[in-house]
Chain A
């Protein structure tokens, strides 16, 4: 379970995130939506202990993330291209992440094999470094890397942005499969309402750092969200 209590973040007196309480049960597929600057990335960065909270804290399966590093073995994430190592080939990057998560080469290869459609023949065996791949392909590599090593918490920031339609559909499939597993919590942020409503059981809307809506996804959710953002 992920639990944020009295969590806030300020930059120079400006409140960018203020969450009184938020609990994400284990195994839930959780969607975070909101306009630019709503605090989605800030929340994820706090969850990954990349920035310190101004007040409050986040627990990831009982571990206070800014007190201990014990959440790292079961948590994986892809936030942006700064999570990629530009001078490695995609394969080397996957093996490196595999090394970090105690997965050997053969198992990494087996996992990658499931993603051959997703990679569309543009990632593996290209004799190219990650820095020379297109933005979309970089993103694909980063997302797949976050699936390595059976993580129990997967955090993806804007995974659908910059991907083509076919890839988006494939990605939604993968996330759905992952979300069905009881032991895996998936956190996805997006400003595309359609994608999140499709893959997430629960959707939280952030606006200017505050939770303004917390809904369990139903057939009406998309309409509800659209009218909220359209208003």
Chain B
């Protein structure tokens, strides 16, 4: 039986959609994975030396123990958002002669090998090796390692238990925040309190039994819960949310693009991935704080221009690069309905225009760091409006990868292809090069002026540009329809 499950798992992995992806994307994702792994191994290995350097008087093991409470809480929060027990995967087994207990063991056992558990494993491993090489008692260190892995595993299973309740999340976030505040303002020494508890794992090897017992207990609770709920109408039922109807009558004032605008707003608001994009975009307004506050960047013109284009155009790039793939699920309907393609594109352009204006307004406070920041952001926003909107819409016509709207937004690469990487170059690169040239030859003012000029020219010719883009969409129509029909590509 176990053999069967393992075979299935292997096939699921190698036949998954990510393996069918284009070579470039595979390489990129592979590179990312290797990078993460190397970074973890490297940082884990270097941790000992870093701590020795930073805090020469304190034993690194002691420091690590003190901060482990934060690791536990942070990982619980992270997993709450990212990791769900993939119960839907067991649907095909229900009608087969396999006992429910085996199914439950399978799904729980499988989650033990999830990537999230490997993170702790690969971080702790080099740290442990370095410790042993530095003469720490091998038995204690090895059992500490076992303890850490066991903690990661118990986080894994505890997450599944608490994952259904928002109260649990609020409690954990609250605790994390409270601990941090108490610690930071030295009201209560949280780290010194939890330090000895986690240090015990190292100091008294037999305590490793505690996290192991915790794993077993959490596993058992999950198991009990799951076995009772392997029914189609219990845990296996996909949750449906209550629909909220909205009129959005205010969009009427935008004339005949109103129906599409309404559709786009609903698209963004009612689907996880698009909604996440909006929040991410809003968060990126804060991105400037990292750079404006550091002296090296303040006078670095290419960097400032990058910030301007990036912050005012974050929604433009994030959302725009997947136009029209957002509508891929019903693209053939749009193409056979009474829809002039031009209106469709006008509406998309209108939506992005709105986002650029909003993002610019939000970046105005950066004027605090000098008028140049405001001027450059203004120029960048105009450039985004005039040039980048048509550019991104044009490249959109090369999109032909389907996007499944209801899939989770985290690490979702659906719809991504080489096109997306190609788009970024002209969108971000061109204005930076432009302003840099004029800045180094003349001045900031001239550079900003040139950006504005480009933007205004683009706006003046928008009608013509959009006409051309409409033609392009028309000629790529069959390719797009065929591409969007392919699921899991």
Contact = CB atoms under 8 A, between A and B. Distances in A.
B340 A69 contact: yes
Interface in B455-489: 477-478, 481-482, 485
B270 interface: yes
A87 B271 contact: yes
Contacts of A92: 245, 266
A84 B245 contact: no
B27 to A, nearest CB: 28
Interface string A53-94: 000000000000000010011011101001111111101100
The B contact surface, by secondary structure, is helix
Interface in A83-139: 83-89, 91-92, 96-97, 99-101, 126-129, 131-132
A53 to B, nearest CB: 10
A49 B406 contact: no
B405 A128 contact: no
B333 A83 contact: yes
B333 A85 contact: yes
A27 interface: no
A117 to B, nearest CB: 23
Contacts of A72: 336-339
B339 A127 contact: no
Nearest to B245: A89
Given A87-B266, A89-B243, A131 B332 contact: no
A96 B245 contact: no
Contacts of A129: 240-241, 243, 270
A102 B240 CA distance: 32
A48 interface: yes
Contacts of B245: 89, 91-92, 127
Contacts of A52: 478
Contacts of A75: 336
A99 B259 contact: yes
A38 B162 CA distance: 53
B36 to A, nearest CB: 33
A96 B482 CA distance: 24
A49 B266 contact: no
Interface size class of B (residues with CB under 8 A): 20 to 34
A87 B405 contact: yes
A97 B482 CA distance: 23
B339 A87 contact: no
Given A87-B266, A87-B267, A99-B259, A51 B478 contact: yes
B242 interface: yes
Given A72-B339, A100-B259, A86 B405 contact: yes
B338 A73 contact: yes
A194 interface: no
A50 interface: yes
A48 B336 contact: yes
B356 to A, nearest CB: 25
Interface string A189-202: 00000000000000
Contacts of A149: 338
A82 B485 CA distance: 9
B329 A82 contact: yes
A88 B266 contact: yes
B335 interface: yes
A31 to B, nearest CB: 20
Interface string A156-167: 000000000000
Given A83-B332, A87-B405, A51 B481 contact: yes
Given A50-B481, A86-B405, A97 B240 contact: no
8 contacts: A48-B335, A49-B477, A79-B336, A82-B332, A100-B337, A100-B339, A126-B243, A129-B243
Interface of A: 48-52, 69, 72-73, 75-77, 79, 82-89, 91-92, 96-97, 99-101, 126-129, 131-132, 149
Given A49-B477, A69-B341, A127-B245, 6 more contacts: A72-B336, A83-B330, A83-B333, A84-B333, A87-B405, A132-B240
Interface of B: 240-245, 258-259, 262-263, 266-267, 270-271, 329-333, 335-341, 405-406, 477-478, 481-482, 485
Would you list the 4 A-B pairs with minimal beta carbon distance, nearest first? A99-B259, A83-B333, A87-B270, A132-B240
